């Protein structure tokens, strides 16, 4: 995974493996939201400082992009 250090890459991989169990429902290890007005229906999962955007066709999950969170945190 380009642009991610080892820990970030491992964290993304762990979240993707968790996503396999249920790609639709948010839960403790998968903070998932459905993007409004997107076709095909896109979902976004929060993974620390990064976001993973994906869509689903049948039994297959397609990851469209992994990107850093935009903006600064309100927590300082």
Q: What is the pLDDT confidence band of residue 73, given thresholds at 50, 70 and 90?
A: low
Q: What is the pLDDT of residues 5-30, one digit of tens each?
A: 899 899 989 999 988 888 998 888 78
The DSSP string of 14-47 is HHHHHHTT-SSS-BTTBEEEEPTT-SSPEEEEEE
Supply the CATH number for residue 33's domain.
3.30.2310.20
Cα torsion through 45, 16, 75, 42, rounded to 10: -10
Q: What is the pLDDT of residues 39-69, one digit of tens each?
A: 889 999 998 888 999 999 998 999 999 988 8
- pLDDT at site 27: 85
Range of the domain at 25: 6-68
Residue 16 lies in a domain: yes
Structural domains of the chain, count: 1
The pLDDT of residue 3 is above 90: no
Residue 1 lies in a domain: no
The pLDDT of residue 37 is above 90: no
């Amino acid at each position: 995974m380009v642009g991610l250090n080892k820990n970030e890459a491992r964290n993304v991989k762990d979240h993707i493996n968790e996503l396999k169990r249920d790609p639709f429902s948010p839960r403790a290890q998968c903070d998932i939201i459905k993007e409004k007005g997107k076709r095909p229906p896109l979902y976004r999962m929060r993974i620390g400082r990064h976001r993973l955007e994906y869509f689903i066709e049948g039994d297959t999950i397609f990851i469209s992009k992994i990107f850093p969170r935009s903006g600064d945190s309100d927590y300082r």
